[in-house]
Structure 1
Amino acid sequence: MSYSAVPKGRAVLWGSLTVAAVAVAATAVHLTGALAAGPAPTTNAAQTVPATAAGAGAAGAPTSTPKPTAKPTASAKASKNPPPAAPQQATPKGGWIPVDQAAWQKQVAAYQARKTDPVPAGVADIPEFRADCTYSHRLADDPIVFPGLAGASHMHSFFGNKAVDADTTTGDLTRFTATTCKPVLDHSSYWVPTLYDAATKKPVEPTGFRVYYRSIRNNSTGMMPIPTGLRMIAGDAKKRVPTPRGAHGQFYCAFYGPGDLDGVARSSNGNWPICDPNSYATLHYMLQYPDCWDGKNLDSPDHKKHVAYGTDKGCPASHPVRIPSLTFDIQYGVKGTTQGYYLSSDPTGRTASSMHGDAFLVWDTDAMNKRTKNCVLQRRQCDNDGYQN
């Protein structure tokens, strides 16, 4: 799996900080640009860990009882040639899901008691750790937006935990730990809308999927680990705007060496780049998540209200817990075509603007604590196994 230069302004990121990420053959990923800000920040508010449960209107705690038998391989249920039509509408069951405060406070205590490990020589001053995952399976399910409603979603491509379907809970991810990710201590599930070739209507699955966990600020003050069971969505599945050359939120061409990130040509509808056929360039997409959490809820009705973007000064008072920000770096092994592509979330408009990602986060707790403290809090770059040697 190869990763290469990310264009300026292609991802919403970093303020004054430029971050490099290690790639195959030592190619670096550089993310720059202005980060979308949330409400007015409170300086160092992220150091405060709320001890109260969710307020009025919160739903009961998420089901954590694991299923009694192993789940079948989800890929066996995936359609080989899914129709482009939108799925039948269903009523989402989601809502406010309060964190188990006892479990969270136990994780906080263990994190605060943990000592940082000695830093090996040559480790870069880049506050991040990562997971590299491969494609797992494809289903028209979404356990965050449509929990318990099999087939209610548009088609999704899943990465990480192999047992995920519409019925998946935190308990399932904790117990059924077979994964396509490295490290295997990451039991999370990540998914994005499936990409289709517009000419053949066949799915185009990613050939590389890396998840960065990082500080997107110029400091790591108050950084805390991600709580077990946190769910988040980045992007907007309902967005329907053209994505011509230079547009925000488009796919781009990533490559080694010089070249045109917007492609040497465009698809006939202008929404998709065509990469230089004489280069190693292929289609990529970057997707970034918020870096502040309310400290109370693992999910919210729109799957976004419980998290927010902070600034270099800290997190907003409404979301005082500072956590690592996820960034999806998605690689597709195609160069683009005249006919272009479409996402399962927008088969008619065939734009890239509905691209989005879901993250259902369950790590081995000690592994999450250790990486957050060693890598993000201490502002050192770590590979899949922890510190990069």
Structure 2
Amino acid sequence: MGRTSRKRRSSLATRMTIASAALLLGGGGLVAVNVYAQAHEENSADTGQRSGSGVVAKTTTIDCPDVGTALPDVPDSARGRVDGELAAMDTQITQAYQRLAQNRDAAAQDPGWVQNSVLGPLKAKRGAALDRIGQNIRRSGGSAPRGLDGMAQCTQRATDDNGGDSPAPSTAPTSSASVPAPPQQGGTAGGPVAADFQDITKVRPNVQRARNGRGASTGTFTTACGTNANKLRNSDNVIVAPGVTNGAHHMHDYVGNQSNNAFASNDTFAGAATSCRNQGDKSTYYWPVLRVQDGTQEADANQDGGGKEGNVGKILQVRTASIKFVGSPRGKVVAMPKFLRIITGDAKAFTNGTANANAHWSCTGFENRQLTDKYPICPRGSQVVRSFKFQSCWDGQNTDSANHRTHVAFADAQGNCPANFKAIPQLTMRLVYDVPAPTIANGQVKNPYAVDGFPEQLHKPITDHDDFINVFSDQLMQRATGCINRGARCN
């Protein structure tokens, strides 16, 4: 059963937030760029918050259409060239982002500077890349989508200090620029903010579970793969951006397969070592690292995926990583196909919307209360818990899909799979951390913790996500499926 022909979906931050535009300092520190529109200016009074100087604080985002999501399945013979063009477009956005950040004074003083020096040149470069993408697809017998040429234009969009949107022209607003002092006691202007945290003791129980019907598969299969004590990390994502170094633009923790990087193939995975106790499980399980923004200079402080992209502070070691496969409340499950790829959650949920958000946050002792859009503040003696429930329905044919989502699906509230989908063992993960509790005073958070992410996502908790590639041996997958279907508890 082969992988479907597909394209590389993600672009490097299609929306680059200048609030977190990092001006790299000597030690890898960050100075964030804020644009302050005058409070008396038209349309400024209803956005942002007034500062002591009587201005409304705003941040600015470059918003580019995500070309990868608009492409059809790319013919195999064109895939490498198209992936190369998409990677080049990522670099173009990065360069435009850096140019705007490094010339904030020019942008503030000249209303036309952003259009003439950033957005205009960026459009020209993107237009040329889009033309080459279309040619490569057509020469390989495919059909380029209509309107591809229209995706060259990027715009400027303003957001207020609370993360909300406000209209912005495609040129820089008439404003003055201000560079605030570096944040004290950890944290970056790129988030998170105080509003991203919630005292878990003030959350009401909210966990609901589907009731098992007659014939439900009630067993479980647990695989022990460690906590990444050997610190296997990189900022690649072989599912979304195969063959592209730093395709994730944030750091991942890996357990299971020990050869996961941008260039790993199915053969690589099959021949690799594994951290799992059962050597028949060479699956790869990976998630964004969790950091406390305490000023620690990690090894990646001056690297792509790390400090260069606003992912700063001490990486927290997972204390407990529980990986368990469970059954369906409606019936038996079928074996997963080898090399099935699943992404749960959305790394860009802050800008894409919450339709695919699927991570949950809680604290030990309070796991009947879960958060999706807040980080929990746990009481003394309680630990932070990240939990994930992956899609449990499979289309029966494909190990991947063009958008890495449509070949799998979630069951409904009663546990039923969509028509023509089959129930598979549902991967569930529970990650536990010792996290120094952040403190909030006067609307400011000190020593916050946050997941790594794309800069424009402002380290919001709703962007948390998890990735999985099934590399169970056929024998072990049959054993796991059998345990689940007969109601056994297997390790």
Give the 3-state SS of the residue equivalent to 2:325 in structure 1.
Answer: strand
**Aligned counterparts, 1:139-178, within 5 A:** 139-153=234-248, 154-176=250-272, 178=273
Give the 3-state SS of the residue equivalent to 1:206 in structure 2.
Answer: coil
- Name the CA distance, whole Å, in 1 between partners of 2:490 and 2:270: 24
Deviations 1:110-142 (A, max 9, x none): xxxxxxxxxxxxxxx942101122215110100
Amino acid at match of 1:288: K
Query: Percent same amino acid at aligned positions?
Result: 26
Q: In the alignment, does 2:406 pair up with 1:305?
A: yes
Cα 1:335/1:219, change in 2 over 3 Å: farther
Point out where structure 2 has 5 or more consecutive residues left out of the alignment.
Answer: 7-26, 33-63, 75-216, 296-312, 352-356, 440-446
Give the 3-state SS of the residue equivalent to 2:349 in structure 1.
Answer: coil
Give the 3-state SS of the residue equivalent to 1:330 in structure 2.
Answer: strand
**Residue pair 1:157, 1:205 contacting (<8 A) in 2 also:** no
**Residue pair 1:96, 1:298 contacting (<8 A) in 2 also:** no
Which residue matches 1:208? Answer: 320
**C-alpha displacement of 1:179:** 1.5
TM-score, length-scaled by structure 2: 0.47
**Residue pair 1:283, 1:335 contacting (<8 A) in 2 also:** no
Q: 1:350 aligns with which of 459, 471, 477?
A: 459
**C-alpha displacement of 1:346:** 5.1
**Aligned counterparts, 1:265-344, within 5 A:** 271-277=374-380, 279=381, 281-311=382-412, 312=414, 314-319=416-421, 321-338=422-439, 339-344=447-452
Cα 1:334/1:318, change in 2 over 3 Å: same
Q: 1:238 aligns with which of 345, 348, 351?
A: 348
Query: Highest relative contact order (Cα 8 Å, sep 6+), 1 or 2?
Result: 1
Give the 3-state SS of the residue equivalent to 1:240 in structure 2.
Answer: helix
TM-score, length-scaled by structure 1: 0.59
Cα 1:292/1:250, change in 2 over 3 Å: closer
**C-alpha displacement of 1:261:** 5.8
Query: Which structure has more helix as a fraction of its residues?
Result: 2
Displaced runs of 4 or more, over 3 A: 81-85, 89-97, 247-250, 258-263, 311-314
**Aligned counterparts, 1:89-108, within 5 A:** none
Point out where structure 1 has 5 or more consecutive residues left out of the alignment.
Answer: 1-50, 61-80, 98-124, 242-246, 264-269, 384-389
Give the 3-state SS of the residue equivalent to 1:298 in structure 2.
Answer: coil
**C-alpha displacement of 1:316:** 2.0
Q: 2:329 aligns with which of 209, 218, 226?
A: 218
* Count, aligned residues: 262
Amino acid at match of 2:342: M
Q: Which has the larger radius of gyration?
A: 2
Amino acid at match of 2:316: V
Cα 1:353/1:366, change in 2 over 3 Å: same
**Residue pair 1:230, 1:360 contacting (<8 A) in 2 also:** yes
**C-alpha displacement of 1:158:** 1.2
- Name the CA distance, whole Å, in 2 between partners of 1:260 and 1:365: 35
- Name the CA distance, whole Å, in 1 between partners of 2:72 and 2:255: 24
